[in-house]
Amino acid sequence: MTAPEAPAPVAGLPRIGEAAPAFTAVTTQGTLDFPADYAGKWVIFFSHPADFTPVCTSEFMTFASMQQEFAAYNTALVGLSVDGLYSHIAWLRTIKEKITFRDMKDVEVTFPLIEDVSMTIAQKYGMIMPGEDSTKAVRAVFVIDPEGTIRTVIYYPLSLGRNFDELLRVVKALQTADHFEVATPADWRPGEPVIVPTAGSCGTAAERMSEPVEGLHCEDWFFCTKEIPAEDIEAAIRVKGNS
């Protein structure tokens, strides 16, 4: 009796707080050594299912149109699919020469798009999910900090285009949290109150509730917020010279 065939191994998913897996790849902008080439920068590293598909086209046009907006927050864009380099080049030329989406047209994609025909990089980042598709990458997003550490992981299925306002909000929130040593509440936008670290002792908790602390607003000992003006946040996290 023949033994049943073992299921194909599924690559592990890189986790928040871990070093971004390193690789060297061919891209539409030349050879890339990742994440070393982006030392000192934030990176949004994302995958898309396939070239010459409508949802991916709408996403690449949106990413390209927002590239300078991300760059204003020291954030670079790097894309990947399991298509080959010449397919990438042909698709990006088609986007520029033929496609209009919303108010975007003549859009030139100048950030790197990685070829990954072997799916080696996609497997390394857990971008291939056989339950969704065994030959295409899902819409994965990894936000990686200037030290090469994974800070956010977001996954979308093939049928769902990404929310780009949310991706920019994530970058701003992570940078704000790092710079000011705070956390950001649900749906936070710059200029809204941020959350200060929870009291680390009974004494501090009691003081917060019995003696008001200037600049803090406490709902209870564990839930305190403070105001940071939007202009202070922009001054701290925005690249100088980008207005």
pTM here is 0.91
Q: Determine the topology of domain 176-237 in CATH.
A: Antioxidant, Horf6; Chain A, domain 2 (3.30.1020)
d(CA 54, CA 148) in angstroms, rounded, equals 32
Is 93 annotated among the ligand-binding residues?
A: no
The 3-state DSSP class for residue 80 equals strand
Do the bridges between strand 113-115 and strand 75-81 make them parallel or antiparallel, or are there none, so unpaired?
Answer: parallel
Token pair 């592990």: residue: 12
Tens digits of residue pLDDT in 128-184: 999 998 889 999 999 999 999 999 999 999 999 999 999 999 999 999 999 999 999
Average pLDDT taken over every residue of the chain: 92
Q: Where residue 6 falls among pLDDT bands split at 50, 70, 90?
A: very low
Instruction: Read off φ and ψ for residue 183, nearest 5 degrees.
Output: -120, 165
Catalytic center residues: 56
Task: Report the length, in residues, of the chain.
Answer: 243
CATH label, 23-162, candidates 3.40.30.10, 1.10.10.10, 3.40.50.150, 3.40.630.30: 3.40.30.10
**Residues 6 or more apart whose Cβ sits within 8 Å of residue 187:** none
What type of residue sits at position 166?
E
Domain positions in the chain are 23-162, 176-237
154 class by beta-carbon count within 10 Å (0-12 exposed, 13-18 middle, 19+ buried): middle
One fold for both 23-162 and 176-237? no
Please tell me the predicted confidence (pLDDT) of residue 7.
45
Q: Is the distance from CB of 71 to CB of 239 less than 8 angstroms? A: yes
Q: At a CB cut-off of 8 Å and minimum separation 6, what does 174 contact? A: 42, 143, 145, 151, 152
- Cα(94)–Cα(106) distance, rounded to whole angstroms? 10
pLDDT tens for each residue of 8-21: 444 578 999 999 99
